[in-house]
């Protein structure tokens, strides 16, 4: 295989897929009440979740450093390397990757390294990684591959529904007054990244299940060529909901495949218990 994909741990890739696609992961760090948790394979999600529940304060996240990225780049023997980061509007991970790339290419001028601002996170980022893996297998020039990757970024879709808006409120991702009103009225909006990768409300519904079923029905009108797309469903301790969504989608649409994965630490920190994110 002449290419390698490097990604930050916003992407919610499962260990099985990580090994199958040979993805190198660069970890976020999350602090709760002064205790730092590294978002890697050693993270005990149960301990992390209990700490998050017990805290009234927002989580504090720190993105991978340039050194973290450089360390992974130095593990790559392949000539072509694609780095896939969380939306640059949500984190400094993309900027850290840019600095690492410049340093790496000074030592390895013969390598080709491209950084992809996914403009999304979680299931949306994993969906994009799956598309990138297919593109990189095509026997076309690196420039043509990059062009197709950027087209895939533009065509990639992400939506999410949260059972609890507290963490988004605490971390300033939505306005406190808006979040409190939504919680009081049992409003569970369908949200998504805008074209730049920032968060916006797609549709407002009362009740999580109603939003979930509405999203399942709408998927067919939100993108073309579903039969060529893989639907990724990330859940934060919400497997039953994820399976219900997958079953409903199978009834209504003809996706190439549907994958269900658990959120990693970063997405769990923002999605909170019961949150569902989809990417395709």
Residues 182, 124 share a domain: no
Which CA distances in Å does 172 have to 57, 105, 249?
A: 11, 37, 32
Strand order in the sheet with 158-161: 199-203, 190-193, 158-161, 276-279, 230-235, 257-262
Q: What is the pLDDT of residue 177?
A: 38
Residues 86, 143 share a domain: yes
Residues 29, 163 share a domain: no
Q: What is the pTM of this model?
A: 0.90
Residues 162, 119 share a domain: no
Q: What is the DSSP string of 132-171?
A: HHHHHTSSS-HHHHHHHHHHHHHH--EEEE-S--HHHHHT
Query: The domain that contains 193 carries what CATH number?
Result: 3.30.1180.10
154, 177, 196 - which closes a domain: 154
Find the distance separating the first CA and the last CA of the chain, reported in whole Å: 25
Question: For every one of its 280 residues, what pLDDT tens digit does the chain have, with 9 covering 90 and above?
Answer: 599 999 999 999 999 999 999 999 999 999 999 999 999 999 999 999 999 889 888 889 999 999 999 999 999 999 999 999 999 998 999 999 999 999 999 999 999 999 999 999 999 999 999 999 999 999 999 999 999 999 999 999 999 988 766 655 555 555 543 444 444 445 577 878 777 767 777 777 777 888 899 999 999 898 889 999 999 999 999 999 999 999 999 999 999 999 999 999 999 988 878 899 999 9
Residues 37, 146 share a domain: yes
Cβ neighbours, 10 Å, residue 30: 25
Tally of domains in the chain:
2
CA pair distance 49, 114, nearest whole angstrom: 34
Q: What is the pLDDT of residue 184?
A: 44
Which CA distances in Å does 20 have to 27, 46, 105, 232, 242?
A: 19, 26, 27, 16, 23
Residues 28, 55 share a domain: yes
For residue 226, what are the domain limits?
A: 158-279
């Amino acid at each position: 295989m002449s290419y390698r994909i490097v990604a930050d741990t916003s992407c919610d890739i499962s260990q099985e897929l990580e090994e199958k696609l040979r993805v190198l992961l660069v970890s976020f760090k999350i602090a709760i009440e002064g205790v730092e948790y590294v978002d890697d394979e050693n993270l005990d999600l149960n301990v992390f979740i209990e700490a998050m529940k017990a805290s009234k304060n927002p989580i504090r996240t720190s993105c991978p450093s340039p050194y973290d990225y450089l360390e992974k780049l130095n593990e790559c023997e392949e000539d072509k390397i694609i780095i896939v980061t969380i939306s640059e509007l949500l984190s400094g991970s993309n900027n850290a990757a840019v600095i690492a790339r410049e340093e790496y290419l000074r030592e390895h001028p013969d390598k080709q390294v491209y950084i992809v601002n996914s403009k999304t996170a979680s299931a949306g980022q994993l969906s994009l990684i799956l598309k990138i893996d297919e593109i990189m297998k095509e026997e076309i020039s690196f420039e043509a591959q990059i062009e197709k990757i950027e087209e895939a970024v533009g065509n990639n879709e992400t939506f999410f529904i949260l059972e609890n808006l507290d963490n988004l409120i605490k971390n300033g991702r939505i306005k406190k007054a808006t979040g409190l009103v939504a919680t009081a009225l049992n409003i569970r909006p369908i949200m998504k990244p805008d074209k730049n990768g920032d968060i916006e409300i797609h549709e407002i519904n009362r009740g999580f299940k109603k939003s979930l079923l509405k999203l399942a029905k709408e998927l067919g009108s939100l993108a073309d060529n579903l039969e060529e797309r893989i639907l990724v469903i990330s859940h934060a301790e919400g497997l039953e909901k994820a399976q219900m969504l997958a079953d409903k989608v199978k009834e209504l649409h003809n996706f190439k495949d549907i994958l269900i994965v658990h959120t990693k630490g970063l997405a769990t920190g923002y999605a909170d218990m019961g949150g569902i994110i989809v990417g395709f």
